[in-house]
Amino acid sequence: MLRLDDVSIRYSGSHVDVVDRVSIDIAEGAALGLVGESGSGKSTVARAIVGLTSVRNGSVTVAGSDVTNAKGAALAHVRATVQMVFQDPNASLHPRMTVGDAVAEAVTVRRRLSGAGLESEVARLLDLVGLPARFVDRFPFELSGGQRQRVAIARALAPQPKLLLLDEPTASLDVSVQATVLNLLRELQRELGLTYLAISHDLAVIRYLCDRVAVMELGSIKEAGPATEMFAAPRHHYTAALLDAVPRLAGRRTERIVLRGDPSDASERPPGCSFHLRCPAGPGAVDGHERCAVEVPTLAGAPHAVACHFPLAVPD
Ligand code: ADP
Ligand code: MG
């Protein structure tokens, strides 16, 4: 359903790639989680898929069609196939438009429906996202954050997409509400056979929604593989450090890994492995690991791939 092949992206005016040779593959009906610290390039990847940011190198394929820097018919194909759900539902809701009108608007962008047909489609979509029918006449300010995100999800589903890009879909919600929205997203995926690319800095969100995970650091994928295996036995030191920052996911731990230094941005990307200055197995920490400061590790291995010269051992 989605393939990124060796995609590099740089913003105009910059001389560095904020997304650096990223490859991603998601089968129809599967859910891939893209995790990483803030600024690692996750949202840029999503924006490139829907044509909001142009790709400098590499290709983007959606449902079998090359949509790299799409225009015209290719862009229409993307719009018919892919929808996004953002962190902030307010961004996609007009404050003076009722829920019913907002959902109806999203339906009619791509589908010729009007009158009773449109009304019943709006009712069906509200029901699908777990909102009572009487909500059609409500305004966004009358809704809770979770209800607003449900309206945003209904709008995303209105054009009948196959692929949803979920960019931090629960980050703006109270913890108690996050679970209900995640539950809804998981049910919708199963019921409608949707494909998900879920972006989050929160590993719990990814673990709940996704069967596969790709970990991004400073614009490149450092580790990718089956979610269960990666959460239980990460092989990249960066993934291990991320997991360690979430004690409830880490399971049995021996020693706490502390990431040295702040995440830098792409303009300060060091040579070699971009993580080596912060890595507990980097040349500053382990003698003999000088290679990490010189040679960019390639992402290798299937189905569990890691880009590290000295990966963590596979447990027996
Ligand atoms: P994430 O979603 O992982 O937090 P982003 O994709 O938003 O990361 O950003 C990746 C990098 O690109 C950051 O260093 C950010 O500052 C930079 N960036 C994002 N949007 C723009 C833009 N419109 N122009 C220039 N730089 C940008
Ligand atoms: Mg982001």
Q: Is 203 exposed, middle or buried (0-12, 13-18, 19+ CB in 10 A)?
A: buried
- Per-domain residue ranges of the chain: 2-210, 235-302
Closest CA to ligand 1's atom 26: 11
Q: If we measure between CA atoms, which residue out of 4, 47, 49, 37 comes closest to residue 23?
A: 4
How far is residue 113's CA from residue 115's CA, in Å, rounded to a whole number?
7
Please state, as a whole number, how many other Cβ atoms lie within 10 Å of the Cβ of residue 145. Answer: 17
Mean pLDDT of successive 10-residue stretches along the chain, which has 316 residues: 98 94 97 95 97 96 96 92 94 93 96 96 98 97 96 97 97 92 98 97 92 97 97 96 69 48 78 94 94 97 96 89
Percent over 70 (pLDDT), the chain: 94
Please state, as a whole number, how many other Cβ atoms lie within 10 Å of the Cβ of residue 81. Answer: 21
How far is residue 136's CA from residue 245's CA, in Å, rounded to a whole number?
42
Cis, peptide link before residue 303, omega less than 30° from 0: yes
* Alpha-helix runs per DSSP H in the chain: 42-49, 72-81, 99-108, 115-128, 145-157, 175-192, 203-209, 227-232, 237-244, 247-250
Q: Which CATH architecture has domain 2-210?
A: 3-Layer(aba) Sandwich (3.40)
How far is residue 310's CA from residue 222's CA, in Å, rounded to a whole number?
12
How far is residue 14's CA from residue 47's CA, in Å, rounded to a whole number?
17
Write the pLDDT tens digit of every residue in 230-288: 999 999 999 999 998 765 544 444 444 456 566 668 888 899 999 999 999 999 999 99
- Cα of 54 vs centre of ligand 1, distance in Å, is 13
CA distance from start to end of the chain: 34
Cβ(254)–Cβ(233) below 8 Å: no
- Cα of 125 vs centre of ligand 1, distance in Å, is 33
| Residue carrying structure tokens 């995970």 | 213
Ligand 1 nearest-atom number relative to CA 47 = 6
Protein residues whose CB sits closer than 6 Å to any atom of ligand 1: 11, 18, 36, 38-44, 265-266
The alpha carbons of the chain give a radius of gyration, in whole angstroms, of 21
- Global pTM reads 0.94
Phi, psi (deg, nearest 5) at residue 208: -75, -40
How far is residue 42's CA from residue 219's CA, in Å, rounded to a whole number?
8
Ligand in nearest proximity to the CA of 267? 1
Longest dimension (CA), the chain: 72
Q: In one letter, which amino acid is 75?
A: L
- Cα of 263 vs centre of ligand 2, distance in Å, is 14
Q: What is the mean pLDDT of the chain?
A: 93
How far is residue 39's CA from residue 202's CA, in Å, rounded to a whole number?
14
Please state, as a whole number, how many other Cβ atoms lie within 10 Å of the Cβ of residue 14. Answer: 11
Ligand in nearest proximity to the CA of 34? 1
Q: In one letter, which amino acid is 260?
A: R
